[in-house]
Amino acid sequence: MENKFRAGVVQFDVECGRIEANLEKISGYLETLASEKVSLVVLPEMFSCSFDNENLKGHSKSTQKIIEKLSYFALDYRMAIAGTLPEQEEGLIFNTMVFIDTDGKIKGKYRKLHLFRLTGEHLYYTAGNKIVTVDSTLGRIGLMTCYDLRFPELARSLFLNGAQLIVISAQWPEHRKEHWEALVRARAIENQLFMVCSNRTGTEAGLAFPGLSMIADPMGKVIAHAGNTDSCAFAEINPDAVKDMRTLIPCITDRRVEVYG
């Protein structure tokens, strides 16, 4: 990252199986954030259809058209867009984050590495096997999804791959909301980078979702917060904050990899 820019997060009640309704909500938020000159927007996990797991193969047939629509918005608004939706390949379904750059082109796809067994994700989805950073027009950005947040090894790998900012799409429930904020801030602090994290609102399958989408800076300070209703928020991303923090406390230099094993 070389220049300052604005990053935003979107949160809404992702309606299970209702692709058009969800896309209509998203288009409204993108327009709002574009009016604020936001250059990067992160959407919730499975933003197109939520975890409508029994119908994933059908929903995945719409994925390419959805990506094309978002690419149009990205190019029109000069805005990078990231979020996850179902992707099918050779009969397997993946929870895939797509990163569309400000030129409307796909710069990277990341398949969720850590599937959440507590809600049976492993029964419907195939786990990814690659760590992904993208070299975007905004800088080098790492990609993560929801449960990945609990695995510091992944965020550290993105840091070591040169990421100065990590985006996260999530469906993180109300009753673990304390973990959400603590982990977002911890990943920012320990890797000295920005975290831009979107979480949904609403209820589904007996679970309530609090929103609480946020952006944390390399000090771990929350610099944007979307509250607990359908909304969006944004903050300025200053690459000097990453550089200054990594110079002040040079964790990458002081690591003792020969001891860690």
Find tokens 């673990």 and name the residue: 176
Reply yes or no on whether 236 is catalytic: no
Mean pLDDT over 56-72 rounds to 97
Which pLDDT tens digit goes with each residue over 20-40?
Answer: 999 999 999 999 999 999 999
What pLDDT sits at residue 248? 97
Reply yes or no on whether 243 is catalytic: no
**pLDDT at position 79 over 80:** yes
Rg (CA), the chain: 17
Mean pLDDT over 101-114 rounds to 98
**pLDDT at position 127 over 90:** yes
List the catalytic residue out of 45, 109, 121, 197. Answer: 45
Q: What is the dihedral of CA 140, 44, 30, 166, to 10 degrees?
A: -20
The proportion of the chain whose per-residue pLDDT surpasses 90, expressed as a percent, equals 98
Q: In terms of CATH architecture, what is 5-256?
A: 4-Layer Sandwich (3.60)
Residue 83's pLDDT band (cuts 50, 70, 90): very high
What pLDDT sits at residue 14? 99
List the catalytic residue out of 112, 121, 197, 232. Answer: 112
Mean pLDDT over 227-245 rounds to 97
CB 241 within 8 A of CB 207: no
Nearest alpha carbon to residue 131 among 140, 122, 123, 120:
140
What pLDDT sits at residue 206? 93
C-alpha–C-alpha distance, residues 13 and 152, integer Å:
28
What pLDDT sits at residue 1? 76
According to DSSP, the residues that pair with 257 across neighbouring strands are none
Mean pLDDT over 62-81 rounds to 98
- CA 173, chain centre distance (Å): 16
List the catalytic residue out of 25, 109, 121, 146. Answer: 146
C-alpha–C-alpha distance, residues 125 and 111, integer Å:
10
Residue 2's pLDDT band (cuts 50, 70, 90): confident
Which pLDDT tens digit goes with each residue over 160-184?
Answer: 999 999 999 999 999 999 999 999 9
Structure tokens at 121: 């994700």
Dump strand ranges (E) for the chain: 5-11, 40-42, 80-89, 92-100, 106-111, 133-136, 139-145, 165-170, 194-199, 201-204, 207-210, 214-216, 222-225, 231-237
Which pLDDT tens digit goes with each residue over 140-160?
Answer: 999 999 999 999 999 999 999
Mean pLDDT over 224-241 rounds to 98
Reply yes or no on whether 45 is catalytic: yes
**pLDDT at position 5 over 90:** yes
Nearest alpha carbon to residue 11 among 49, 41, 52:
41
pTM of the model: 0.97
Mean pLDDT over 207-224 rounds to 98
What pLDDT sits at residue 261? 82
Say which range, 64-68, 73-77, 135-139, 252-256, has the weakest mean pLDDT: 252-256
What pLDDT sits at residue 179? 99
